[in-house]
Amino acid sequence: MLSAAETDALTLSLSIAARSVLFNLPFAIAVAWLLTRTRFAGRTVFDAFVHLPLVLPPVVVGYLLLVLFGIRGPIGGWLYGHFGIQLAFTSTGAALATAVMSFPLVVRSIRISLEALDGGLEDAARTLGAAPLDRFVSITLPLITPGILAGVVTAFAAGLGEFGAVITFASNIPGETRTLPLALYTALQTPDGDSLAARLALISFSLGLAGLLVAESLSRALRARLGR
């Protein structure tokens, strides 16, 4: 039976991870399509920029988000001044930080699916008079759906374990931004918190393993669908 602290951390982690996927999925599809189907000046630099969260320390990403989206930042200040929207130190900010960190994972999964797609199908639809949007919705999107799902599951699982960017941008606020990793960190800093830390670690391990297994199953389904 989970304690109140464990339940709160688990519920908040699931909510933030889910919201982060919703944040980045439309942009990830657009960016993956752009990198796969178009050629433009600076494409290599743009590609590197998209994947930058994979190599930067998460704390650096959180700090950059704080500079940009904090109340005194150029974007965060404008949002707060015009709409009263505050991202820093909120669960929405935690979801944004998680979305930024997991964004390259979704882009990469969708991009692999697009690169494996038989371009002849899209060409055939073009010769039959299908518009670009029609081709994408009726042909491309259904065929890359397994890749999208695999990317979503992987990003969701990774989002459950995000720590550095979240604690830097959204802090460690109980009931607001204290996700499983932050609750585990807090338990380790608390006297007699070893048993709680062990349970939180086990929950995180189980969720992460389940996410990876589901992602692998979807990847196999993708390969089988494409005949590979």
pLDDT level of residue 220 (50, 70, 90 thresholds):
confident
- Residue 7, token pair as written in the block: 């339940």
More confident residue, 215 or 150: 150
Phi/psi zone of residue 172: left (φ > 0), alpha (ψ -120 to 50 degrees), beta?
beta
pLDDT level of residue 226 (50, 70, 90 thresholds):
low
Q: How many domains does the chain have?
A: 1
Burial 157-168, CB ≥16 within 10 A → b, else e: bbbbbbbbbbbb
201's CB contacts (< 8 A; 6+ apart) are 184
CA proximity to 180, closest of 166, 201, 209, 150: 201
Q: Give percent of the chain above pLDDT 70.
A: 93
In eight-state DSSP terms, residue 54 is G
pLDDT level of residue 113 (50, 70, 90 thresholds):
confident
Q: Which pLDDT value is given to residue 227? A: 60
Residue 149: pLDDT above 60? yes
Residue 18: pLDDT above 90? yes
Q: Which pLDDT value is given to residue 124? A: 74
Q: Which domain holds residue 62?
A: 4-226
Q: Which pLDDT value is given to residue 135? A: 78
**Full-model pTM:** 0.89
Taking residue 103's Cβ as centre, other Cβ atoms within 10 Å add up to 25
- Residue 201, token pair as written in the block: 């670690």
- Work out the angle at residue 91's Cα, subtended by the Cα atoms of residues 111 and 167, and round it to the nearest 5 degrees: 85
CA proximity to 5, closest of 200, 138, 201: 200
Largest CA distance in the chain: 70
Q: Which pLDDT value is given to residue 73? A: 92
Cα 221 from chain centre: 21
> Which H or E element spans position 178?
none
Rounded CA separation 73/68 (Å): 5
**φ, ψ at 174 (rounded to 5°):** -60, 135
- In this structure, the chain runs to a length of 228
Digit-coded pLDDT (tens) for 60-83: 999 999 999 999 999 999 999 999
Domain of 107, CATH number, reads 1.10.3720.10
